Amino acid sequence: MTSSPAVVVTDDCDCCNLRYLYYPSIASPTTSSYQHGTDVRAGAHSDYGSVTLLFQRPGQPGLEILTPEGTWAPVPVQPGQTAEEDRDAAFPFPPILVNIGDLLSYWTDGLLKSTVHRVVFPLSEQQSPNPQDRYSIVFFCHPLDKTELVPVPSDIVTAHRQKCKESGVQDEKVGFGGGAGSLEPGKRTLTAQEHLEARLAATYKFDK
Ligand SMILES: O=C(O)CCC(=O)C(=O)O
Ligand SMILES: [Fe+2]
């Protein structure tokens, strides 16, 4: 019998990270300079990795996603109500919200679209006598830096790519650079690190 090591040591950077977020509550809009509609807790963005797992307090409002129509819609994160979940009701646990990130969009040529989201100060909460702090825990899942972003070997992704080509609709923004399957001849495959750097550069005009 062989045993495998619990930790694999590698010279490649694993860029997964876990963030603990605390957003203090603010006083009622009538007593602060806060402007609903302008001031937000976290501005509109999409995440850079493959998927993001978000844990937050059950039912706490604030998280919103951008709809295809261009409006903001609240994302209710509620504990489940099935019989099995009720059994554990003494410890209601919020479900885990899974966000698609830019890398997964790139990897699937935009078939899976990264979610644009933001966190606002909900007006209802601001106006309540007891406005709440917001806490969330976010796990950003990224592959190792040197991972080559070869096209996902999926018939569905291939069919999607073909359909985009035929209709001439290549949404550069969705796949960030056209997607893993639309490499120009002679160009080599991007690595996860290069994709991340391109997204950081696009957001912060950050250059090495
Ligand atoms: O705090 C939240 O609910 C979301 C945070 C978030 O979107 C992020 O850190 O990327
Ligand atoms: Fe995010």
Give the residues across from 42 on adjacent strands. Answer: 119
Ligand 1 pocket: which residues have CB below 6 Å?
Answer: 19, 21, 42, 47, 54, 56, 63, 117, 119, 136, 138
pLDDT digits (tens, 9 = 90+) for 42-71: 999 999 999 999 999 888 889 999 999 999
Nearest alpha-carbon partner for 139 in 7, 19, 47? 19
pLDDT digits (tens, 9 = 90+) for 139-170: 999 999 999 998 888 999 999 888 888 887 66
Residue of 21, 98, 135 with the most ligand 1 atoms within 8 Å of its CB, for mutation: 21
Distance (angstroms) between ligand 1 centre and the Cα of 154 equals 30
Instruction: Say what the ipTM of the complex is.
Output: 0.98
**Atom 1 (ligand 1): residue with closest C-alpha?**
136
Q: CB under 8 Å to 194, separation ≥6 — which residues?
A: none
Q: CB under 8 Å to 21, separation ≥6 — which residues?
A: 134, 135, 136, 137, 138
d(CA 99, CA 200): 18
